[in-house]
Amino acid sequence: MAAILVLLLAAALPAPAAERCTAPRDLTAASDSFPHAARAAAQKRRLGVLVVGSASTTGSGTSAPDNVYPARLQEALRTLLPGTEVEVTPRGGRGLTAPDLLKVLEQALPEVKPDLVIWQTGTVDAVRGLDPDLFAATLVAGFVKVTEARADLVLIDMQFSRFGRAAMNYGAYREAMQAVAAAAPNGMLFRRYDLMRYWAETGQVDVERAPRAAWPRETDRLHACLGKALAETVVEGMRLSR
């Protein structure tokens, strides 16, 4: 009887965040290698990661700073890369466009000296209707700066939102990110939009449809899942360099 009660209780409880992160492989597979990150981890036993982005990078909506996805990424990378010192440094803030973030990136590169740069952008540019060609040119300039700094780059596109999909045209900006990432060496696009849409449609993580009181908890789950998925993608890219 006790064993049956335990099983029933386990089935009734919500799944932990780590179990809410399943997705088709094509949404999380590394599409390029990360030789600078792999070399740093192998030779120096240290991996420095710079995360540049807007509100979601700095923890907007999470219940605590340690729940934001860069912190979750650091935690997951340390688990996946035992014996390697992993340090993730977030930079950015609310309402920053790609040109704004390029300035943040330029200032942070000589200070942080990262082996891997993760650049989350696109939402603010789409909301403000900024020129998609300027957006693409800014991403190219960022890739050049990161390459000159001898680091690899992961672009992260906007978050999935039913309201955002209905109210804004993300298409040109997502296409620009995909094209720039595909053309650049040692770089890729992490498809956050498609990944979040999949999680929402399969009922794994859906902040928009969670009760208002549960938004912070559901946002924490989302960031945990993003950190885990991103870490697995990064490590796969590092292994492709061997």
**86 and 77 Cβ atoms separated by less than 8 Å:** yes
Q: Judge whether residue 95 has pLDDT over 50.
A: yes
Q: How far apart are CA 171 and CA 125, in angstroms?
A: 12
- Length of the chain, in residues: 242
Q: Is residue 17 pLDDT above 50, yes or no?
A: no
Q: What is the dihedral angle through the alpha carbons of 61, 73, 145, 121, rounded to the nearest 10 degrees?
A: -30
pLDDT in tens, 128-157: 999 999 999 999 999 999 999 999 999 999
Is residue 2, in this structure, part of any structural domain at all?
no
Q: What is the pLDDT of residues 54-70, one digit of tens each?
A: 888 876 667 777 889 99
- In this prediction, residue 10 has a pLDDT band, given cuts at 50, 70 and 90, of very low
Between the ranges 16-20, 138-142, 165-169, 197-201, where is the mean pLDDT highest? 138-142
Highest mean pLDDT (candidates 2-11, 18-27, 173-182):
173-182
Q: How does pLDDT run across 108-119, given as a tens digit for each residue? A: 999 999 999 999
CA 192 to chain centre: 7
Identify whether 11 is part of a domain: no
Tell me if 4 is assigned to some domain. Answer: no
What is the tally of structural domains in the chain? Answer: 1
Gap between the Cα atoms of 29 and 45, Å rounded:
24
Domain that holds residue 85: 22-240
Domain assignment of residue 207, yes or no:
yes
Confidence at residue 37, expressed as pLDDT on a 0 to 100 scale? 97
**CATH number assigned to the domain comprising residue 56:** 3.40.50.1110
pLDDT at 233 over 80: yes
pLDDT above 70 as % of the chain: 88
Q: Give the percent of the chain with pLDDT over 90.
A: 71
Give me the pLDDT at residue 7, please: 33
Alpha helices (H) in 13-68, listed in sequence order: 35-39
Q: Which has the closest alpha carbon to 85: 41, 117, 51?
A: 41
What's the CA gap between 174 and 193, in Å, rounded? 9
Residue 231 half-sphere exposure toward CB, CA atoms < 13 A:
25
Residue 156 has φ and ψ, to the nearest 5°, of: -120, 125
Residue 16 lies in a domain: no
Backbone φ and ψ for 120, nearest 5 degrees, come out as -100, 125
**Strands lying side by side in the sheet with 187-190:** 85-92, 46-53, 116-120, 152-156, 187-190
* DSSP at 159: P
Structural domain contains residue 54: yes
At residue 166, the pLDDT reads: 52
Q: Flag whether 5 is in a domain.
A: no
- Answer yes or no: is 70 within a domain: yes
Residue 6 pLDDT > 80, yes or no?
no
Supply the pLDDT for residue 18: 41
Q: Alpha-carbon distance 96 to 78, whole Å?
A: 29
Q: Sorting pLDDT into bands at 50, 70 and 90, what band is 165?
A: low
Q: Check residue 19 and give its pLDDT.
A: 52
Q: Is the pTM of this model over 0.85?
A: yes
